[in-house]
Amino acid sequence: MLTQEKKPITRSVPGTPALNGAMASVAGRKVAGMPSPLVSEEYVPRAMPPLLGTLDMTTTFLMIIFFITNATTAVAGGAASFTYWAIGGIAFFIPCVIATAQLGAMFPYEGSLYNWTHKALGGYWSFFAAFCAWFPGVLVIISAGDVIVSYVQGLNSHWLVEPWQQGALIILLIAVTSMLATQRYRMVQKTVNAVMGFTFLAVILLAVAGISWLARGHPSATSFSHFSDWNINWNKNTGNLYLFGLITLAYLGSEVPLNMGGEVVRRNVITRHLLWGTLLVLIGYFVATFAVLVVQGPVNGANPFALVTTVDLALGKFMGNIAAMLIMSFFVMAMVVYNYTYSRLLLVAGIDQRLPMKIARLNRHRVPSNAIKFQAIVAMIITAMVFFVAPYAIQITSPVNLSTEIYNVLLASSTLVWAFSAGFLFINLAKFLSGKRRALRFHLVFPRPVLWASIILGSTASFFAILGTLFYSWTALISNDRWLYIIGGLTFCYLVIAAIVSMFANSEASWETSKVQ
């Protein structure tokens, strides 16, 4: 095992040797036609040892993208679910992976989209893209906690009935997982690797459940025998077109593991983890969807706990309980992974003086603990508002229904902002292909025609997925018309906030620079 010399960087703020050395180093790295190098590019390798190998990055990739409960959303389309998984994978997921691989190979630095957008478009847009990526990550932490709540309720319907009880558990989970995220990183990553292994044991259980169900003579709960079963139904009121946005955007996040791009042991880890991660995500989603459709069908299978019920029905209660524990362990660790991967965006923004530098402080384990704590506090405040205040202060529907409505609205609007930020993958790549070809010269991963095809396919699919999410409600509790106004308005507000915060970030950068000088 490689060993790293211990460096005195536990208080990584202005004035430390590591940061001052990084600032001096970037001064001599200005390349004609490119924005100035970022201080974070030099500082992170000095302060945070390269620990991440292919397995580590692959499991992180899976934690970010393979939310196995997305399969229970997809099953509503019946056999057509596989059509949507395939279309979303080919038209959006694979183009995102190709763009991520190319940009990551060119610029293997901390912050991924933040760094790449800085190289392509400059400082303002880099922070704007990063903010649009960061805020949804905080809400996904809450979403993972909410899935755990639904699994606890599935185990016993009398538990966590009231919204405040659900919110209390989510806040407790946020507190525990954020504390875990600040511990020694190698230990945490080994836990992530193990839990991802447990998750694919659950996938294997689902595969066995589906096959054994058919082998014992049970009929499939879903029809696969007619060509029309696999078709896209274009009817606005009775069709399944709404699934395109839901399923396509389930593939978001290919660039997120490279928020830690400055901590990989070798450059080829970037492309290898994307290859293995992509294959496993596609296999996992197809297997889970198949099992639920065969055993329960599109109606009974359309709830998160249906994954466990599928194993219950096919293999017995004991195996179902094991599946429940395996899946719940995934979502606990997903909260940890989302916290420490997105904290890297705050870390680099602090190092590059776009946010107060204190947010970039590392603890004794060389982990950005201040950034992680800040994210946890934001997530707790939002959780308290959604589960403690709104259900009882706004008496429009029952407290339980209102909590569900608010949850879906927040998640959908944040997903749209995330999809908007993912569009910068294709904008950045197009910029380098058309106007900054020097950056591509030595690190071309794919032929240029493949890159252009990915840009066209990915951006088009993203556009239509965003439209689908705007026009089709995620919950029957909100009509499509109301959904459009609510989601459209919130998404617009998020983007305006991102634009304003980005302007302040540029001002902060100028002020911090003058203070250091």
pTM of the model: 0.91
DSSP symbol at 158: T
For position 401, what pLDDT does the model report?
A: 65
**328-344: per-residue pLDDT in tens?**
999 999 999 999 999 99
For position 348, what pLDDT does the model report?
A: 96
For position 8, what pLDDT does the model report?
A: 37
For position 14, what pLDDT does the model report?
A: 42
End-to-end CA distance of the chain: 40
For position 36, what pLDDT does the model report?
A: 72
**Cα–Cα distance measured from residue 300 to residue 114, given in angstroms and rounded to the nearest whole number:** 42
For position 34, what pLDDT does the model report?
A: 59
For position 25, what pLDDT does the model report?
A: 55
**Closest C-alpha to 328, from 104, 152, 461:** 152
CB atoms within 10 A of CB 154: 18
- Tokens at residue 477, please? 């509790």
38-516 placed in CATH 2.40.128.20? no
For position 195, what pLDDT does the model report?
A: 98
DSSP symbol at 32: T
What 3-state class would DSSP assign to 236? coil
**Cα–Cα distance measured from residue 20 to residue 85, given in angstroms and rounded to the nearest whole number:** 49
Owner of token pair 């397995």: 55
The one-letter amino acid code at 384 reads: A
**Cα–Cα distance measured from residue 284 to residue 274, given in angstroms and rounded to the nearest whole number:** 15
Q: Which residues of 374-396 are buried (b: 16+ CB within 10 A; e: fewer)?
A: bbbebbbebbbebbbebbeeeee
Residues of the chain with pLDDT under 50: 1-15, 27, 516
**What crossing angle do the helices spanning 80-88 and 448-471 adopt, rounded to 10°?**
130
Taken in order 148, 152, 157, 159, the sign of the CA dihedral is negative
DSSP string, 47-92: HS---B-HHHHHHHHHHHH--TTHHHHHGGGTTHHHHHHHHHIIII
**Cα–Cα distance measured from residue 505 to residue 355, given in angstroms and rounded to the nearest whole number:** 6
